[in-house]
Amino acid sequence: MPPPHRYMNNNFTYVSSCTKYLIFLLNFMFWLFGGLLIGIGLYSGLDKFQATGLIKLDTYYDILLNISIVMVLSGGIVFIVSFCGCLGALRENTCLLKFYSLCLLIFFLCEMAVAIIAFIFPHTMNPVLEDSFTERIITLYRDDPDLQNFIDFVQQEFNCCGLSGGGFLDWSKNEYFNCSSPSVERCGVPYSCCINSTDISSGLINIMCGYGVQSQSVSSASKKIWTSGCIEVVRVWAERKLYVFAGVALSCSFFQLLIIYLAKTLEGQIELQKSRWSSS
């Protein structure tokens, strides 16, 4: 008995146009997003280089904490993977689709690993690693404008100062704020640590509100600034929002699995169509 496809119309194809163009459109949007990340990262890096005259890349911390480099790298990954998805779907190329679905699977597994570490084992960070991480961030505070703005934002939003359990005393590791510095900011902390950094009468930020607080006791300093480290404050905040983060994570995971399923489905349809052509 001849195979059923012998009786099919010559215009029949196993490849679903809906699946094909849905994968293409989704990846086209991510491709544009990846290009946008690369553009913003390059512009930010160039602007930072023109302002400071150098970009430190002495250790892997310098790369991880350099926001412009992280944006360029992550944007490049998104750009390449989504481009493979676009081209693989549009040209019905199974090699590109296999590479695309494999990358999505690797991303999914990495995200699951990070989620497990972050939410199931939230207190397992090595103290030595935490101190090293804290020291590097504090040291780079004035050398990297993007990182400085990010730290100020976190300290103001979460009402914290410094990073580790040492709290506001972490700023003694910064060359501008340690008590042996010739700077006017010695023994101080950034204005973003202050409980009230804005002058009510003028509406301007008082950048000197944290000067000299490191030489005071914790009880005295707590009247002017937030004294708790940001890592623990953010950790407690994240635990309170656990269900929200879990919902978002599950939604993103479901979306990724759906795209992987669509890619594998399209790949199977292309293989069926190729076998039909070869048997005709």
Residue 1 has pLDDT above 50, yes or no: no
Per-residue pLDDT at 248: 86
Cβ-Cβ contacts under 8 Å for 143 (sequence gap 6 or more)? 52, 56
Residue 250 has pLDDT above 80, yes or no: yes
Looking at per-residue pLDDT, the higher value among 232 and 100 belongs to 100
Looking at per-residue pLDDT, the higher value among 12 and 50 belongs to 50
Mean pLDDT of the 73-91 span: 94
Q: What tens digit of pLDDT does each residue of 151-170 get? A: 999 999 999 999 888 889 99
Residue 65 has pLDDT above 80, yes or no: no
Place of tokens 């300290």: 155
Place of tokens 């676009």: 86
Query: Residue 258: which pLDDT band, with cuts at 50, 70 and 90?
Result: very high
Mean pLDDT of the chain: 84
Per-residue pLDDT at 5: 47
Per-residue pLDDT at 36: 96
Per-residue pLDDT at 124: 54
Please state, in angstroms and rounded to a whole number, the distance separating the CA atoms of residues 142 and 140.
6
Query: Residue 6: which pLDDT band, with cuts at 50, 70 and 90?
Result: very low
Nearest to 263 by CA among 87, 145, 117: 87
Query: Residue 118: which pLDDT band, with cuts at 50, 70 and 90?
Result: low
Residue 54 has pLDDT above 80, yes or no: no
Mean pLDDT of the 4-26 span: 74
Percent of the chain at pLDDT above 70? Answer: 85
Residue 271 has pLDDT above 60, yes or no: yes
Residue 31 has pLDDT above 70, yes or no: yes
Nearest to 148 by CA among 178, 112, 105, 192: 192
Q: What tens digit of pLDDT does each residue of 121-143 get? A: 555 555 656 677 788 888 888 88
Query: Residue 57: which pLDDT band, with cuts at 50, 70 and 90?
Result: low
Angle at 28 between CA 22 and CA 34, to 5 degrees: 140
Angle at 163 between CA 185 and CA 147, to 5 degrees: 70
Query: Which residues share a beta bridge with 198?
Result: 205
Query: Residue 201: which pLDDT band, with cuts at 50, 70 and 90?
Result: low
Per-residue pLDDT at 276: 74
Query: Which residues share a beta bridge with 205?
Result: 198
Per-residue pLDDT at 135: 81
What pTM was estimated for this model as a whole?
0.78
